[in-house]
Structure 1
Amino acid sequence: MSNPPKTTVTDPAAPLTDEVLHYTAFTTSPVGGNKAGVVLDASSLHDTDMVAIAAELGYSETAFVTPGPASDSGRSFTLRFFSPKAEVGFCGHATVATAVALGERVGEGDFDFHTAAGHVPVAVREENGVLKATLTSVEPRVHDTDPADVTETLAGLGWQAGDLDAALPPRIAFAGVRHLVLAAATRERLADLDYDFDRLLKLMRRLDLTTVQLVWRESATVFHVRDPFPVGGVVEDAATGAAAAAFGAYARDLALVPADAELTLHQGHDMGRPSLLEVGLVPGDPRVRVTGAAIGIRPTPAPQQ
C-alpha cells in the first residue's frame, strides 16, 4: 500500500465532504497507528446512520463532524464519536485524525472542537513534511480505586497481584472518558495479553470505563501501553489518545514526573501496529496535551461473500 500525500491542502473554499475518509493516527506509516473513519460533513446523518457507518467500518472509532458554534474563523466544529457498538464521549485518535484531515483541506492552524466531554482545542502544524495535531484535553481527574475492582480486573486479565508494579498504583483517570490505569512489573507481562473479554466487559460497564490502560515504565519518561477496549466491541486499541491524556494526569497526580514533563508512549507494537503518542504537561495548567501524526489510508476491501 502506497503512502498518500501527507500535507496536500485543497481549496479552503471547497465544501467539506460527507464521504467517509480513512485515516490512521499516531503514526506516519499506513501499517501503524490506530485506524479511524472521519466524516467531515455529517449534517445529514442521524444517530442510526452513524452507528451503522461505524459498525460497517469496524474501526475502534469513527468521528462525525458538523459545524460548531458561530465562529468567524470557520474553524469551530462539533465532533461525535462512535465505536462499532455505540457512541463514545471522547476519542483521542479520531480527534487527531479529524484535525489532520481538516488541516489538509483548510490549512494548518488552530481548531476548536466541541465534544460531549467538553471543549477540546487542537493545533495542527507541519513537522518534517508531516501534519501533526496537538489536542488539549478537558480538565482531568484522578481517583482512587476500590481494591475489589482491581482484584476483579486482574482476574479478567488473567494477571496476579504480583504482576503489578507497586511504584505505579492503580487509579481511575479521566481526561474526557474514564480509564483504569494498571502498571505491569515487566515488559513480558505487558506483552502477554489474553484476557476474558466478557468478564472484563461486564466490569468496565459497571465502572463506566472506556479502556483499561496497561502500562510498563521503560524509563523516567518513556512508557509502553496497551488498551483493552471490549466496551467498544474491539479487543484492543492500537493507539488511544484519550487514555494517553488520562495517563498524563495520572503521572502528574502521583508525582511520577516533573510538572513540565514530556512523555513518550509506545502503543500497538504487540499487535503489529506501532504507534507513537507524545504527552505534554504544562506547569499551572491542569489540562494535558497529546500530540500525534496522522495520514490518509486506502480502505481495506470488504471480505468477499
Structure 2
Amino acid sequence: MKIFVVDAFADAVFQGNPAAVCLLDRPRDARWMQAVAAEMNLSETVFVDRSAPADSPAGMGLRWFTPTGEVDLCGHATLAAAHVLWEREGEDARRPLRFATRSGVLTAERGEDGISLDFPAEPAEEAEVPDGLPEALGAKPVWMGRNRFDYLAELTDEREVAELRPDFAALRAFPVRGIIVTARGRGEHDFVSRFFAPRHGVDEDPVTGSAHCCLGPFWSARLGRRRLTGYQCSPRGGRVRVTTRGDRVGLDGRAVIFMSGELHEREER
C-alpha cells in the first residue's frame, strides 16, 4: 500500500502539521488501522478507501486515527489526503473530491490559493470554567466555552497564548477531545490559537483544522466578518483561512508532500 507523510496547512516542509496518508488496497478493520497509526506516531493518520469513486454521492471513505484512538473530524489530514489524491493519484483537480466520514460527507476543492475544505461548523456555547483548568493551563480564561469535542478558552492577548506552558498530565484528566486556547491577533492574523489533546496522545497539535470549525464562528461573531485568517502559534506554526457559512465552515490551506513509500504487510506471528 502507498503511504505518504504530508505537511498540511504549510507552504514548505517542516511547517504546518504532518499527517500520514495511507491509501488502502482493500477495506481494513479498525484494529489494524489503529496499529498503523500508533506505528506512524503522528497526530493523525488518515486512511483512504477508494472503493467508491470520489465523485459518487457517498464519496471515498476517510477514517482518522491518532496514536491512541479514532476521531470524528480532522482537518489537516483531510487536506493532506486531498493533496495526495490530486498530486500523485491522478484525480481530476477540476472536480471536487467527496469524502464519506463519521462527520458526514466532506468536500475538498482546488483553488487559486491552495485547497478549500467544506466542514461542519462546531460553535462553542458559553460554559463555566472547569475546576482546575486555569491551573492546568497556566492561565485564567476571560471567556470559556464548549462544543461537542473540545473546551474553548479565550485568553487576554496573543502573547499569553504563545507563552503558555501547560501541565499536560493535568490536562489529560478533562473529559474532552482537547482544549483550544485563543486570543485576538495582531497584524496579518485576525486571531491566534493553540490546541492541546494529551488525552488522545497528542500533547500539542501543530495546526488543527477541526479546531477552526469552532474558532471561525467564535471570532466571526466578535469581529463582524465571515472571512478570517487564523494562526496556530505552535512551535511549527501554521495559517488557516476560515470562512463561516452558517452551519458550515470553509478551511483553506496548502500542503507539501514530505515523504512517500510503501507499507509492507506481514503476517502476525
- Scaled by the length of structure 2, the TM-score of the pair is 0.86
- Name which of 183, 207, 232 aligns with 2:200: 232
Distance 2:155 2:104 in 1: 31
Deviations 1:230-260 (A, max 9, x none): 12211101100000111112234xx2132x5
Residue identity opposite 1:210 in structure 2: R
Deviations 1:192-251 (A, max 9, x none): 222222221111xx2xx2221111212496111111111221110110000011111223
CA spacing shift, 1:72–1:290, aligned 2, 3 Å: closer
The structural deviation recorded for 1:139 is: 4.5
The aligned residue for residue 15 of structure 1 is: none
Deviations 1:18-59 (A, max 9, x none): 221110100111010100000122524322221111111111
The aligned residue for residue 144 of structure 2 is: 170
Q: For residues 192-231 of structure 1, what are the structure 2 equivalents within 5 Å?
A: 192-203=163-174, 206=175, 209-219=176-186, 222-231=190-199
The answer to whether the aligner puts 1:115 opposite 2:101 as a matched pair is: yes
- Name which of 204, 227, 247 aligns with 1:262: 227
State the superposition RMSD in angstroms.
2.4
Residue identity opposite 2:144 in structure 1: P
Indicate conservation of the 8 Å contact 1:173/1:250, yes or no. no
- Name which of 24, 42, 52 aligns with 1:41: 24
The aligned residue for residue 250 of structure 1 is: 218
Indicate conservation of the 8 Å contact 2:59/2:97, yes or no. yes
The structural deviation recorded for 1:70 is: 6.9
Structure 1 residue ranges without an equivalent (≥5): 1-17, 300-305
Matched positions, count: 257
Distance 1:141 1:92 in 2: 16
The aligned residue for residue 85 of structure 1 is: 68
- Scaled by the length of structure 1, the TM-score of the pair is 0.77
The aligned residue for residue 4 of structure 1 is: none
CA spacing shift, 1:265–1:170, aligned 2, 3 Å: same
Structure with greater helix percent: 1
The aligned residue for residue 263 of structure 2 is: none
- Name which of 106, 110, 124 aligns with 1:142: 124
Q: Percent identity?
A: 27
Distance 1:121 1:27 in 2: 20
Indicate conservation of the 8 Å contact 1:211/1:243, yes or no. no
Residue identity opposite 1:264 in structure 2: T
